[in-house]
Amino acid sequence: MPQIIRDPKFDSTLDVLRQGYTFLYDRSRKFDSDIFQIRLMGMKAICLHGPEAAELFYDPEYFIRKGAIPRRVQTTLMGVDAIQTRDNGEHRCRKELFMSLMTPESRQRLMGLLAKEWQRYAQKWEQIEQVVLFNEVQEILCRAACAWAGVPLQDEEVPTRAREFGNMVDGFGGVGPRHWRGKQARIRGEKWMRGIIRAIRAGELQPTVDTAAYKVAWHREPDGKLLDVQMAAIELMNAVRPIVAIATYITFAAVALHEYSPYRQRLRNSSEDYAELFVQEVRRYFPFTPFVGAIVRDDFTWHDFHFPKGTMVLLDVYGANRDERWWQDPEVFWPDRFRHWQDNAYDFIPQGGGDFLTGHRCAGEWITIEVMKQAVHFLNDGITYDVPAQDLRYDLTRMPTLPASGFLMTRVHRTGKAAPVAAAAPAATGGCPFHHG
């Protein structure tokens, strides 16, 4: 039986923090292997790369998620013991809850709310000297997501709530002040959501039956019991917070429109849905999720390599979208590559892979694509603007990362063209901010 290649370093935790997104892919190329072993926080971890490895990784027969997500990530990004940490029947039941929010009608309602917010904010942008797109889009998404989810939100709350949703995302990969800000934002957010759940169950708040607030408040687990108030608050947050996180992708899409400007005309003139190709290439080209983790369920052997029960396994996400074995000229921004893409659940995994209904693939991935397409159309046709000199570089050692300037715009003017509302039919696998399944 062959031995898995081992990184000679005693522990790679600091290297992961120093290198960020590229760590796993760099090691894979260094060892010339799609499977290798490191030590992370003192524990053995098997690292996987590539479509075949991704297909293995998302097979629930071999892996579980319980124990795979560090507590520091749970206390900032997703909440302690949330859906991402569940397995088997618990996961399926909770996943059905989230998939029930992804109907075409539900997505269409969200897109309509977003279209109105784009117009509202564009009108505001015309009156100010300079716009930081990332900050503004967080607010747009926060307003629309809360309205869609049935979460009450006052106008004066919006800047704070949007910023705190952003801090939860930003805190998961940070240390020191970044992590502390994310943790405190989650504590405050969960308190807010607990109040909403209690109000719904007491009959003081009556969201419509098609909203996340209603469905989460009255969701029953496999044992027939309602979620406890704390867990319901966490999962209601998990219906809203990932939508706000799409602000990162929209900001990168704005960078792409600016730096690869010939595609702007293609977006306007193409008879096909070129925005679909453009958005998928943004998701492939720009960094979002670095890697995801799981735990070996029971001892098994794969390609003669032994996987012991209880071992941590990491799947390279960032590197999977950059490998020239599967992507021609991966360092080139080229949306047309997706014209003939076969829509495989394992070779394109910008936020994780696998099956939507039975696996851990992000339930909100369809929403991510549609929200991005709407934003691209509006930034391309709904407004005109200047892009002043600024620092658009992004640091791959920082997880998550973002263009340094947040994308500055000046001299914003509306064109009179509205943001499109129609929700596109989802692809078979789609193509969510970070892995939320």
* Contact by Cβ (8 Å): 413, 384: yes
Amino acid at 102: M
Rounded to a whole number of angstroms, the CA Rg of the chain reads: 21
User: Is there a domain that residue 310 lies in?
Assistant: yes
Q: Is residue 152 part of a domain?
A: yes
- Identify whether 99 is part of a domain: yes
What span, in angstroms and rounded, lies between the C-alpha atoms of 279 and 259? Answer: 15
Whether residue 426 is contained in a domain is answered as no
Distance (Å) of CA 414 to CA 117, 388, 419? 13, 18, 11
List the chain pLDDT tens, one digit each, 437 residues.
789 999 999 999 999 989 999 999 999 999 999 999 999 988 899 999 999 999 999 998 999 887 667 666 667 776 665 545 444 455 566 678 888 888 999 999 999 999 999 999 999 999 999 999 999 999 999 999 999 999 999 999 999 999 999 999 998 777 789 889 998 999 999 999 999 999 999 999 999 999 999 999 999 988 889 999 999 999 999 999 999 999 999 999 999 999 999 999 999 987 778 999 999 999 999 999 999 999 999 999 999 999 999 999 999 999 999 999 999 999 999 999 999 887 778 889 998 876 544 444 555 688 999 999 999 999 999 999 999 999 999 999 999 999 999 999 999 999 998 888 865 444 433 333 333 44
> What's the confidence (pLDDT) of residue 221?
85
Interacting residues of 251 by C-beta distance below 8 A, sequence separation 6+: 133, 134, 137, 402, 403, 406, 407
Residue (of 92, 162, 131) closest to 363 by Cα position: 92
Would you put residue 312 in left (φ > 0), alpha (ψ -120 to 50) or beta?
beta
- With respect to residue 330, please indicate whether it lies within any of the assigned structural domains: yes
Which residues, listed in sequence order, are joined to residue 35 by a DSSP beta bridge? Answer: 48
Specify whether the CB–CB gap between 255 and 406 falls below 8 A.
no
Domain CATH number, residue 216: 1.10.630.10
The range of the structural domain enclosing residue 114 comes to 5-414
CA end-to-end distance (rounded Å), the chain: 34
Task: Tell me how many domains the chain contains.
Answer: 1
The number of helices, as runs of H, and strands, as runs of E, in the chain is 14, 11
Q: Is residue 430 part of a domain?
A: no
Angle among Cα 253, 79, 16 to the nearest 5 degrees reads 60
Structure tokens, 149 = 């989810």
Amino acid 436: pLDDT: 40
Q: How many CA atoms lie within 13 A of 273 on its CB side?
A: 15
Domain annotation covers residue 422: no
Check residue 315 and give its pLDDT: 96
- Helical residues (DSSP H) of 270-416, grouped into ranges: 274-285, 365-377
Q: Verify cis geometry, omega within 30 degrees of 0, for the bond prior to 51.
A: no
CB 409 within 8 A of CB 125: yes
Residue 189 counted as domain residue: yes
Burial 126-152 (b: 16+ CB within 10 A, else e): eeeeebebbbbbbbbbbbbbbbbbbbe
d(CA 241, CA 229): 18
Q: Please calculate the CA angle 366-288-74 and round it to the nearest 5 degrees.
A: 90
User: pTM to 2 decimals?
Assistant: 0.91
Residues 6+ apart with CB under 8 A from 5: 31, 33, 35, 36, 37
Helix (H) or strand (E) holding 35: strand 35-40
